[in-house]
Amino acid sequence: MDLEHFAMTKPHITRRTADLTRCEFSPSVPPLLQRIYAARGAENDLALARTLQGLPGPEGLLGIGEAVVLLEQAINEQQSVLIIGDFDADGATSTALTLLALRAMGFSRVSYIVPNRFEYGYGLTPEIVELAKQQTPDLIITVDNGISSVSGVEAAKAAGIKVLITDHHLPGAQLPAADAIVNPNQHGCEFPGKNLAGVGVVFYLMSALRSRLRDSGWFAENSSLEPESSPELKRAEPNMADWLDLVALGTVADVVPLDATNRILVHQGLQRIRAGKTRPGIQALLDLSGRERQRLVAADLGFAIGPRLNAAGRLDDMSIGIQCLLETDPYLAREYALQLDELNRDRRVIEADMQREALVALEQLNLDEQQLPWGLCLFDADWHQGVVGLLASRIKDRVHRPVIAFADAGNGEFKGSARSIPGLHIRDALDAVASRHPELISKFGGHAMAAGLSLPADRYWDFVAAFDDEVRRQLSPSDLEAEILTDGTLDITELNIDTAQLLRESGPWGQHFPEPLFEGEFYIVQQRIVGEKHLKLMLALDQGKQQLIDAIAFNVDTEQWPNSAAEKVSLVYKLDINLWQGRESVQLLIESIRLLR
């Protein structure tokens, strides 16, 4: 059994609506793109800006002034700075960017720790502070974590260590008593880019610090120092754009919404990578994934590079991923990338086994769609803590309801990773459960669509019931019906490589600014399985089968396809460019296929 054999409902196909009467695009924006952009809430050329000049300034970030003062004092006194990162791709890129930027600006005593998720858990905990004390830091900077680290910050302050928190996760009722907090989602912050990833937050902080040091004359003074007098302080002003490749990778891999701010950051990072201005570690990961940097799009960062980087934190130690990003020697960077690639292969095997086990468990419940819990919890004592998030995501996609997958963390505790569907803010749902049942959840945190939590093992079944109750309280039956939103049909004259290239270059596409999907009816000319379960099709646009186009559907049900009786199908697809032996051709990437006759 595999995922393709367990689908509770067929998704509804709905066309996006676009009110072009409200739009003010310039004539240079083609009508097809105007329709697509309008359906995503962009109504004028300003909303499509992709230059760095379109970014909002850092001054709107609450707490950034206090943070810069802390860092300026630290560099003037050459204090010891310790970065506490997170064990995912956003955390790795955030850690690497902060380390590189601080060193480039003249910090001589900077190091990092990424908590091993299996020993210490997430964020700045008291246990991590004990570990950090061995390095006697003057200042701790958290990246992509810390907003919920109340006890950890308390422990650091008790040890005489200053704390600067940079995070983007949603704050709880109590903020930690840090010396400064920079988080666009903290209450009272008026910064417009609320969807910054952790790496985006530190990019803004490092940019603000660079401006302060420039204004204070730091770079002018230290660039003129004689090398022999103080070589570690001799610094030219760094170019922040040099690290936009890291910002793009972390932003896409963390699946944050690509609002106007994030689209600029991702686009600029992609342009640098395409131009060959990327770190050797990212280039090595691109090479191993078979992606050409000149053709790179945002989806490649999310589906090819991000998983390889994430594999280190899921199965081993994210320090491998960070070292890959920091390495300047291409040969050594490739060695790190090879380790990450191998870990990702192991992750795939573990995940596939867990998926099979989860689906067997669902089958054994013998429930139909009406009986299946609205908030679904799954647990197996042998599941891997680092992979339960991926498992929850896969099952969520199949049953279209919020899913939490749990693993045994030892010491009488279960750790879970939650994934949600539109309509349910999963972090707020967990907060509601914790408010009604304070004894059920030990700790939790996250976003609207993803969250993590820990709970006592002996309260698991109580939590299962409470979570399902909360989901039923917040959702309606219609919310559990999967939906595919399309951008309508393409005319025959638009089904060409020029349109495909236009769409490819008109992103970046991603979360909340999705790549265009189209629908249409086609005649089948040829069909065959390639790989293990991918359906390769030759389609015709007309009944005479004169105008042909290639298409492929990944991971199809091989009990249904190929279908020798199939003559005509209705498809939902992306218009893509296939490169084969140096030749480019149009190809449909099929998202949904329905037999017409």
Dist CA 86 CA 144 (whole Å): 6
Clarify whether residues 459 and 324 are in a common domain. Answer: no
Dist CA 101 CA 441 (whole Å): 38
Q: Which of the listed residues 454, 480, 506 is the one where a domain comes to its end?
A: 480
Cα-based distances in Å from 524 to 260, 446, 544, 560: 40, 45, 11, 15
Q: Which of the listed residues 424, 457, 480 is the one where a domain comes to its end?
A: 480
Q: Which CATH number does the domain housing residue 114 bear?
A: 3.90.1640.30
Clarify whether residues 96 and 177 are in a common domain. Answer: yes
Number of domains in the chain: 3
Clarify whether residues 492 and 444 are in a common domain. Answer: no
Q: Residues 79, 295: contact at Cβ < 8 Å? A: no
User: Is 0.85 topped by the overall pTM?
Assistant: yes
Dist CA 137 CA 80 (whole Å): 5
* pLDDT score of 105: 95
Per-residue confidence in pLDDT tens, the chain, 597 aa: 333 444 445 788 999 998 899 999 999 999 999 999 999 999 999 999 999 999 999 999 999 999 999 999 999 999 999 999 988 899 999 999 999 999 999 999 999 998 776 666 678 999 999 999 999 999 999 999 999 999 999 999 999 999 999 999 989 889 999 999 999 999 999 999 999 999 999 999 999 999 999 999 998 887 655 444 455 445 689 999 999 999 999 999 999 999 999 999 999 999 999 999 999 999 999 999 999 999 999 999 999 999 999 988 888 788 999 999 999 999 999 999 999 999 999 998 998 898 888 888 777 766 556 678 999 999 999 999 888 998 999 899 889 999 999 999 988 999 999 999 999 999 999 999 999 999 999 988 888 888 999 999 999 999 999 999 999 999 999 999 989 999 999 998 999 999 999 999 999 999 999 999 999 999 999 999 998 789 999 999 887 777 899 999 998 888 889 998 889 999 999 999 988 777 889 999 999 999 887
* pLDDT score of 304: 93
Q: Which residues pair with 82 in a beta bridge?
A: 111, 140
Range of the domain at 584: 487-597
* pLDDT score of 365: 67
* pLDDT score of 9: 52
Q: Is 330 exposed, middle or buried, given 0-12, 13-18 or 19+ CB atoms closer than 10 A?
A: middle
**Three-state DSSP class for residue 81:** strand
Clarify whether residues 334 and 422 are in a common domain. Answer: no
* pLDDT score of 366: 60
Distance of CA 559 to the CA centre of its chain: 33
314: which residues sit within 8 A by CB, 6+ positions away?
A: 87, 343, 347, 384, 386, 387, 390
44 domain-assigned: no
Q: Which CATH number does the domain housing residue 401 bear?
A: 3.10.310.30
Clarify whether residues 109 and 228 are in a common domain. Answer: yes
Q: Which CATH number does the domain housing residue 499 bear?
A: 2.40.50.460
Q: Which amino acid is at 420?
A: S
Clarify whether residues 492 and 415 are in a common domain. Answer: no
Q: Cα dihedral angle (546, 525, 494, 12), rounded to 10 degrees? A: 150
Q: Which residues pair with 551 in a beta bridge?
A: 537, 588
Clarify whether residues 290 and 195 are in a common domain. Answer: yes
67 domain-assigned: yes
Dist CA 24 CA 393 (whole Å): 38
Lookup: tokens for 437: 């049942």
* pLDDT score of 2: 39
DSSP 423-459: T--HHHHHHHHHHH-TTT-SEEEE-SSEEEEEEEGGG
7 domain-assigned: no
Dist CA 37 CA 35 (whole Å): 6
Distance of CA 312 to the CA centre of its chain: 15
Angle at 432 between CA 427 and CA 437, to 5 degrees: 125
Tell whether omega for the bond before 562 is within 30 degrees of 0, i.e. cis: yes
Clarify whether residues 410 and 474 are in a common domain. Answer: yes
Tokens 């002996």 belong to residue = 458
Clarify whether residues 407 and 505 are in a common domain. Answer: no
Dist CA 132 CA 114 (whole Å): 10
Q: Which residues of 112-125 are buried (b: 16+ CB within 10 A; e: fewer)?
A: bbbbbbbebbbbbb
46 domain-assigned: no
Clarify whether residues 299 and 407 are in a common domain. Answer: no
Dist CA 15 CA 13 (whole Å): 7
91 domain-assigned: yes
Beta strands 548-553; 534-540: pairing state: antiparallel
Clarify whether residues 454 and 491 are in a common domain. Answer: no
Clarify whether residues 471 and 507 are in a common domain. Answer: no
8 domain-assigned: no
Q: Which residues of 354-383 are buried (b: 16+ CB within 10 A; e: fewer)?
A: bbeebbeebeeeeeeeeeebbbbbbbbeeb
Q: Which of the listed residues 423, 449, 480 is the one where a domain comes to its end?
A: 480
Cα-based distances in Å from 91 to 143, 166, 199, 240: 6, 11, 7, 18
235 domain-assigned: yes
Cα-based distances in Å from 515 to 168, 196, 573: 25, 20, 10
208 domain-assigned: yes
